Structures are given as structure tokens and as C-alpha cells.
Amino acid sequence: MEGAMELIMQTIHLARQLNLDVDPDELPCSHMLQSEKAKDERRRFMVAILCQEFQLGGLFCKKSYFEPPTQFTLKMPNHLYDEEYWPQGAHSSIADCDGILCGSSAEAHRPTELDGVVSRYKIGQIWQLIGISFSEHAGPPAHGRVLELDQQLLDVEKEFPSTLQTTFEPHRCVLEPLPTRGTMADMDRLASHLVLASAHVRLHRPFVIPRQGVSEAHQDSHRRRILHYGRFILAVHESDHLPLLKHVSMSLFVLAASIALSVLLITPTGPSEDLRSLRQQIYQVYSAYQNTSHQNSMLWSRSFKLLGLLLETDKKILLNPEYKINLALLETLLQ
């Protein structure tokens, strides 16, 4: 795991030494590329690399990975169509997020092989800002900043092209359109939403329990975000349509979602929350991962142990509803 991270960082460092992080239109005249196709191929390469860097920062929360996205001035590559890559009649639907999101203004969009890459790049930029915001404080960032970042994520999701738009009903865990196993277009679509959902989980996780200066209405909103996006991640995991979830880094997304959702189990706020099916879903994840060994990843091991600790707490509460939770400790763990 750590070796793969180092390889990615070395690739990024080499790309910068070659000035690939400079947009072709801003290169000195002697290095200017004449072909628009060559310019776009260069942009595509660097955008794909930066996606990895931004996601590393968000996933591992290491300050050494946090670099302000504003320092990169790459233009988005033009869409290059690939008729064989995308099926005809791609589905189009609008994310509803249990009433959280409004309808999208996205127009009819011809599918391209860059839809997912560009969308994940935009999400990655915000995820990087989330990581920077959390690394600058002993605790979570100011609540107002969290709301700003939340709105940025919602705006990016609204702008998803029709090829990526997906509806999800969190209480029934139903994805539409249903993914087709092995279809590259569906893998691209689900991967984009997976990265988006993981960014939401990271952003909202510290605010699902009472915090000073956070109203009950806002706390409820944070919990609904975790419920929606966390269960989305678990639904994709259960569907087995995204082989990438078998990798260590992707399984960390599943563990992060399960940890945040487990906190909802042990801190119920009212009968409106559907905890029975949620509890079953989380326990299934934990059971499935019990036979999985990622010994080379300390982060994976710590995350799995934390999930186990939260589920043990849940069992104690079920046996004794008067069981008291150490909220101060829980607050620290969620940060």
C-alpha cells in the first residue's frame, strides 16, 4: 500500500519536473505545442495524475499531500469522443439525495471518455480543500467553512453530465440506472460518484454528533448527508459492479462510510432514522472484511479496528439502553 503511494508521488514529481503541470498554452514559445490534439493529450495526462494526488490527500489526510488546487492552471481538455467506449442511449437521471439536491440544469450531453476523469478532477480539487481545512486546525474547521465546501460538492454533482447522473434512494439502497457488470461506462459513472460520496463522508463525519455552535437543524442535515452518501458507498460495494473496491485504497472508502454510519447507530436522534436495515448493512461489511488481510496498511487496520469498536458499543447499547457513550472520545475519533 505504502509502496503504491510512493510510486504515485514519484510519478507526480517527475511530471512536474517535465513541466506537465503547466498548461500548453502558457509554455514558452520555443516549447509551444502546435497541435490541439497534442495539447489535449498533455492536459488529459496531467489531469489524471492530479486526480490521484488530490484523492491521496483526502483519503490519507496527510498534510504532505495537501497542495492548493489554485496553483494548477491547467485548462480542462476538450472532449474526445470514443463511440466504442460508450454505449448508445446512455441513461440520464438527476440525483435527488433524499430531498437534499435540486434538479440539475445540465443539458443533453454527448458521452465522452473524459466525463469521469474531468468530474473526478473537480471533486478532487474540493477534496483537497477539505483536507487542507482539516489539517489547519486541532479540530474540524469552522462550521461556516464546512457549509461552503458542502455547497461546492453539491454544485459539482449538479453539473455532472448525463452519462454520470445517478439516482439513489438511501432507505431502500436502490441505484438507478442499475449498473451492468463489466461495462466501462458504468464503472466510470460509479467511480465518480464513489469519490464524491467519500468526500462528503469526510466532510460531514465530525458533525453527526452535537457540537458547540452547530444547531440541531444543521446536525440533522449532516446526518442525512452521511446516511445518503455513506449508504451509497455500501450499495456500490454490495452490488459488486466495481472491481476497484477490492483494492485496499477503495476498501478504505467502504470502511470510512461504515465508521460514519456506525456513529448514527449509537447516537440515534429520533424514530425517523432507519436503523434496522442500516445496522444489518454495516455488520455485513464488518463480517466480510474479517476474512480480509491488508497487513501492509496500518491505516486499513486502524480503520477496521475502529469499526469493530463502534459495533461493540452498539451491541452494548442494544443490551443496555442506559449505556453511556464517551462523547468527548467519540468527537476526537471522528476528526
Q: What DSSP string describes 107-138?
A: PP----TTHHHHHHHHHHHHHHHHHHHHHTSS
φ and ψ of 221, to 5 deg: -65, -45
Assigned domain for 227 exists = yes
pTM of the predicted model as reported, rounded to 2 decimal places: 0.76
Assigned domain for 311 exists = no
Assigned domain for 152 exists = yes
Assigned domain for 88 exists = yes
Question: Residues with Cβ < 8 Å from 203, sequence gap 6 or more?
Answer: 130, 146, 149, 150, 153, 225
Assigned domain for 103 exists = yes
Assigned domain for 319 exists = no
Domain that holds residue 74: 2-239
Assigned domain for 74 exists = yes
Cα–Cα dist 209/258, whole Å? 16
Cell of 177: 440506472
How many folded domains does the chain comprise? Answer: 1
CB 334 within 8 A of CB 208: yes
Assigned domain for 62 exists = yes
> What's the pLDDT at 108?
41
> What's the pLDDT at 310?
94
> What's the pLDDT at 99?
40
Report pLDDT digits (tens) over 275-328: 888 999 999 999 988 877 665 677 788 889 999 999 999 999 999 989 988 888
> What's the pLDDT at 34?
65
Low-confidence ranges of the chain (pLDDT < 50): 1, 60-63, 66, 80-111
> What's the pLDDT at 253?
85
Cα–Cα dist 15/42, whole Å? 10
